[in-house]
């Protein structure tokens, strides 16, 4: 089994083509009579926490519309997966833009 760990965004910016291929390209993934096991560890911590905190924030900001709070929580959790590390650095504006785009907004970091 091959183990791959996440690459930090600052590190990836310094990779040349060879290094990018070494880190991300999986060659010969589908071969007859062969099973290739690759475990990729990607930082996805705190998605549930982001969901809960998004709902609480949504309720505090617009308590008369619980559906908005749910949407805000879901959008916060989805967007948390685009942020490296444990803490969310999302702004209310970024989450609101994502909600208003129906999840089609280009995430810009």
Q: Per residue in 6-43, pLDDT tens?
A: 777 788 889 999 988 888 887 777 777 777 777 766 65
What pLDDT is stored for residue 56 in this prediction? 92
pTM: 0.56
Alpha-carbon Rg of the chain, whole angstroms?
18
Instruction: Tell me the H-state helices in the chain.
Output: 9-12, 17-24, 47-61, 66-80, 92-100
Burial 14-50 (b: 16+ CB within 10 A, else e): eeeeeeeeeeeeeeeeeeeeeeeeeeeeeeeebeeeb
Please name which of 75, 101, 100 lies closest in space to residue 88, comparing C-alpha atoms.
Answer: 75
């Amino acid at each position: 089994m091959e183990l791959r760990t996440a690459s930090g965004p600052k590190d990836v910016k310094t990779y040349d083509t060879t290094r990018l291929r070494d880190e991300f390209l999986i060659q010969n993934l589908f071969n007859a009579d062969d099973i290739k096991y690759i475990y990729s560890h990607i930082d996805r911590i705190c998605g549930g926490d982001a969901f809960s905190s998004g709902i609480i924030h949504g309720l505090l900001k617009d308590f008369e519309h619980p559906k908005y709070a749910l949407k805000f929580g879901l959008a916060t959790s989805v967007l948390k997966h685009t942020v490296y590390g444990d803490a969310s650095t999302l702004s209310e504006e970024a989450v609101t833009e994502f909600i208003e785009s129906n999840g089609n907004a280009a995430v810009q970091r």
